[in-house]
Structure 1
């Protein structure tokens, strides 16, 4: 079980979601789980993380 849970929320942040994910994944601390929650965005944010 991971020590830390990271919650990344997004709503119409398609231009920023990739940078946000990369920033989390590039941390030196690696014992975490990442949940990305999108609240029915109308932009292409959900498409960019696939």
Structure 2
């Protein structure tokens, strides 16, 4: 690990926050994709009410 000097706490917390935000965005994106796929399957199976 590189020597971060007196800012080690700030740098490591910034890395931690960044990784946490990336993880949250990944989870939200995967859930939205799953929901969209389910809606598309439903539309394909039932047909669009507008059609």
TM-score (ref. length: structure 2): 0.32
Greater RCO structure (CA 8 Å; 6+ sep):
1
TM-score normalized by the length of structure 1: 0.32
More helix by share: 2
Larger Rg: 2
Richer in strand (by share) = 1
